[in-house]
Amino acid sequence: MKNKKIIVRFAPSPTGPLHIGGVRTVLYNYIFYKKYDGKFILRIEDTDELRYVYNSEKYIVRSLNWLGIKFNHFKGNFFLYKQSNRKYYYDYYILKLIKSKNAYYAFDTESDLDNMKNYLKSYGNKSPKYNYITRNMMKNSFTLSFSKKKIMFSLETSYVIRLKIPSNVFIKFKDLIKGFINVNSSNLDDKVLIKSTGIPTYHIANVIDDYLMNVTHVIRGDEWLPSMPIHFIIYKYLNFYNYIPEFLHLPLLLNPNSKGKLSKRLLDKYNISIFPIKWKHNKIIKGYKDVGYLPDALINFIFLLGLNSENLEIFDKDLMINYFSINKINKSSINFNINKLNWFNQNYIKKKSDQFIFDFFFILLKDKSIFYNTNLILKICNLVKSRVFFINDFWNKTFYFFNTPNFFYYNLLRKKTNAYVSYYLKLFFDELDLLNSFFFLRIKSILNSFKSDKFNIVKFVRTLITGSAFGPDLSSIIEVLGKRESLLRLNIFFYF
């Protein structure tokens, strides 16, 4: 395995949109393949036809494109590997399992299965299984005579194909994160490999595809760990034992309150998205892109979910690739800290070029039929950039540059003022009006002189100018607005 070219795969099931846990899985696969100059396969595992959701595949690809995660194994304009197109391979290997009597036909009806489970429960078995004990009382290849099976096949009786799990055999396998794990086969059931529809299940398709695609490392979520003993038995039965990939099961992502696995229900409670981009199905659900998160910030945040970063925080993709190591992946689960994600997003917005901010903001203003010159937009963006958590917040932080504050603010302020405050506000107005050079330093000097007065009117000036008690440096705001507009807004207070 050491001398082989690294091959990893991301194998989503198109049963819905890509969620944050899936993003972390695909990101770690992407970084791993990049680090070792390997191959990265996108494989669509669409064998669960009952849960298939139209457009999931395209959504997954659009999400990954927005995140900047690229695969290097495509064929034409569609996926190279889609399990619904690979039935021939599964049928071939299933036949080998049946011939070696490591898999068998099971003709049990739903009623048969229910009766078996109820019978075992009546004797105190709380988790009845179709296994080495119960298979002997069911309708399958081991209990039916040759002639009976022949009749069933001729009548096209519905059947599934099950894996024959041995009894009381210890299955030992290694996970590169969790170490060695030992499972007694008596605790497993005879998993269905081929459904009554003729479609393979996850277990058999997954193993065969990983073998045929020469996958060397499987990086996936912790929830897939219980499948490992089943898969190891299949590898052994098919003589794939020397081609078993290395496995890495990533620690669970927990809800923000650290209670339980990350769930859409609880994220909804915290008003947090679980999807990268907008998902349209029965209803529209906003993704991180729509809220105003930058893809680089989201990737940086997800990269550190479960990774020991040694107090490093800001990672671009190149640094992620150089820094990443399997040994740095934590074994313990980690909670989803939305405040930390917001911090990353703010920092990435600060790092964005003036051109990036300008392009976004210019389109936003154009949609509102507001047209200003380039220099003014750049000045405004630079003023608020350090205060913005989301790219979509630029309008909320800058609207007062383009619209005079609502009269509501003037009425509110008037109730809080007295004759002295009004007097000093008028003094400030007059001094501002006398300025010939309307520049930042001159404006700041005037403002500072009023800060030292016992009637500090600066907060009143800010609210009159912007309609808000908070914002960037007031001197800079007044300079950008210009003398005429600033005096006009102050003047309204006296004559409205």
Considering only CA atoms, which of 48, 46, 42, 52 is closest in space to residue 22? Answer: 42
The pair of structure tokens assigned to 380 is: 């405004």
User: How does DSSP classify residue 311?
Assistant: T
- Nearest 5 degrees, angle CA 328-CA 259-CA 182? 55
* Angle of helix 483-495 versus helix 474-481 axis, rounded to 10: 100
Same fold, 89-194 and 407-495: no
Cα(434)–Cα(419) distance, integer angstroms: 23
Rounded Cα gap, residues 394 and 398, in angstroms? 6
CA–CA dist 239, 232 (Å, integer): 11
- Model pLDDT, residue 106: 97
Are the C-beta atoms of residues 170 and 117 closer than 8 Å to each other?
A: no
> Does residue 399 or residue 204 have the better pLDDT?
204
Q: Is the pLDDT of residue 267 over 90?
A: no
- Under 8 Å CB-to-CB from 241, ≥6 apart: which residues? 235
> What pLDDT is attached to residue 74?
52
Model confidence pLDDT, tens digit, residues 71-123: 876 544 344 588 988 999 999 999 999 999 999 999 999 999 999 999 999 98
For the stretch 137-148, pLDDT in tens is 999 999 999 999
CATH code that applies to domain 89-194: 3.90.800.10
CA 323 vs CA 4, 32, 33, 379, 459: distances in Å: 22, 11, 13, 37, 47
Domain ranges in the chain? 1-73+251-351, 89-194, 352-399, 407-495
Distance CA 235, CA 233 (A): 5
Q: What percent of the chain lies above the pLDDT cut of 70?
A: 93
Least confident of 231-240, 282-291, 406-415, 476-485: 406-415
Q: How confident is the model at residue 3 (pLDDT cuts 50, 70, 90)?
A: low
Angle between helices 295-303 and 20-35 (to 10 degrees): 80
Please state, in angstroms and rounded to a whole number, the distance separating the CA atoms of residues 222 and 261.
Answer: 11
Supply 70's token pair: 């690229």
**Residue 74 and residue 80 in contact, taking contact as beta carbons nearer than 8 Å:** yes
Cβ-contact 106, 139 below 8 angstroms? yes
pLDDT, residue 378, reads 87
Distance CA 80, CA 92 (A): 20
CA separation for the pair 458, 450 (Å, rounded): 7
Which token pair is 308? 């020991």
Buried b (16+ CB within 10 A) or exposed e, 2-28: eeeebbbbbbbbbebbbbbbbbbbbbb
Which of these, 378, 388, 394, 487, lies nearest to 432 by C-alpha position? 487
Express each pLDDT in 291-306 by its tens digit: 899 999 999 999 999 8
Q: Quick check: 45 and 83 in contact, CB under 8 A?
A: yes
Task: Give the pLDDT mean for 444-466.
Answer: 81
**CATH homologous superfamily of domain 1-73+251-351?**
HUPs (3.40.50.620)
Please give the CATH number for the structural domain made up of 407-495. 1.10.10.350
* pLDDT of the residue at 77: 39
Per-residue confidence (pLDDT) for residue 490, from 0 to 100 = 87
What are 339's two structure tokens? 């405040």
Cα angle 123, 166, 86; round to 5: 115
CA distance 203 to 444: 70
Q: Are strands 217-221 and 39-44 parallel, antiparallel or unpaired?
A: unpaired
Model confidence pLDDT, tens digit, residues 160-198: 999 999 999 999 999 999 999 999 999 999 999 999 999
SS3 197: coil
- Plot region of 24 (φ>0 → left; ψ -120 to 50 → alpha; else → beta): alpha
More confident residue, 334 or 413: 334
* pLDDT tens track for 17-52: 999 999 999 999 999 999 999 999 999 999 998 889
Report how far residue 262's alpha carbon sits from residue 221's, in angstroms, rounded to the nearest whole number: 12
Report d(CA 403, CA 119) in Å as an integer. 75
pLDDT of 58 over the 50 cut: yes
pLDDT tens-digit series, residues 305-342 = 989 887 889 999 999 999 999 999 999 888 888 999 99
Spatial CB neighbours of 87, under 8 Å, sequence gap ≥ 6: 198, 199, 200
Residue 474 near residue 458, CB atoms below 8 Å: yes
Helix (H) or strand (E) segment spanning residue 39: strand 39-44
